[in-house]
Amino acid sequence: MSTTSALIVAAGRGTRMGPGVDKLFLEVAGAPVIAHAWRRMETCAAIDELVLVVRPGWESSFQRIAVEQGFRKPFRLTVGGAERQDSVANGLRALSPDCEWVAIHDGARPCTAASAIERCLEAARRVGAAVAAQRATDTIKESDGQKQIARHLDRTRLWSVQTPQCFRVEVIRRALEAVVKAGRQVTDDTAACELIGQAVELVECPEPNPKVTTPADLPWVELLLTRLP
């Protein structure tokens, strides 16, 4: 049987929280944000192992979390690169040799439902690439780059995509290589698929799946975490 891995990106600096604050280590519902994100993958039956991409020098903090939280699934730590895509590429290199499927997840998303992870993986097994998504509920406008509306978008076609983003490992490796060859930068992994003509399925996941980006997000995250199974 092939291996399915979670690749947690936990190497960002999260500058929106202010200097010196690492949002991943903020305490919420009794544990750091990253510990909750890790637990989502730890308790999801579809995940066999984890790779965490971390900032250089922070390895011991992650080892400590694993001990404190009593995590039992095999995990490996690897260090991140300059950009998110470099961090993901490093993480892909650290997967088990027999890993065929990967769920790439933001370390700052602590509330993701197990069903979202499972359903994204199922879609990736069918299509090659899939992403947890929600229909846009707010109206979205494109600005002129300043503070003026330049274009009104058709909401019925807009989706907010989150993580996990799930792939056949061979697909995301090839896609990220194409990004490097093209000298491009992508801020999410599905965008890399465009360069190799790989279809990406939007998997509608209605459960709230917020990303911690500012301190204002914490009360809502706390509320969600206390309600999770």
Q: Which 3 state secondary structure label does DSSP give 213?
A: coil
Instruction: Please name the residue ranges forming H helices in 26-81.
Output: 33-42, 59-69
Cβ 37 to its own copies shortest distance, Å:
16
Which residue, 47, 189, 184, is CA-closest to 128?
A: 189
Give me 112's structure tokens. 């993701």
Q: By CB under 8 A, is residue 182 in contact with its own copies?
A: no
* 71 vs 159, beta carbon nearer its own copies: 159
User: Could you tell me how many residues of this chain bind its own copies (CB under 8 A)?
Assistant: 49
* 48 vs 201, beta carbon nearer its own copies: 201
Report how far residue 157's alpha carbon sits from residue 73's, in angstroms, rounded to the nearest whole number: 39
Rule CB under 8 A: choose which of 141, 170, 182, 184 binds its own copies: 141
Q: By CB under 8 A, is residue 204 in contact with its own copies?
A: yes
Distances (CA, A) of 46 to 57, 64, 73: 30, 25, 12
Give me 104's structure tokens. 């790439």
Report how far residue 107's alpha carbon sits from residue 87's, in angstroms, rounded to the nearest whole number: 12
Q: By CB under 8 A, is residue 64 in contact with its own copies?
A: no
Q: By CB under 8 A, is residue 160 in contact with its own copies?
A: yes
Site residues, its own copies (CB under 8 A): 131, 133-134, 136-145, 147-150, 152-155, 157-162, 187-188, 190-191, 194, 199-204, 206-208, 211, 213-214, 216, 219-220, 223, 227
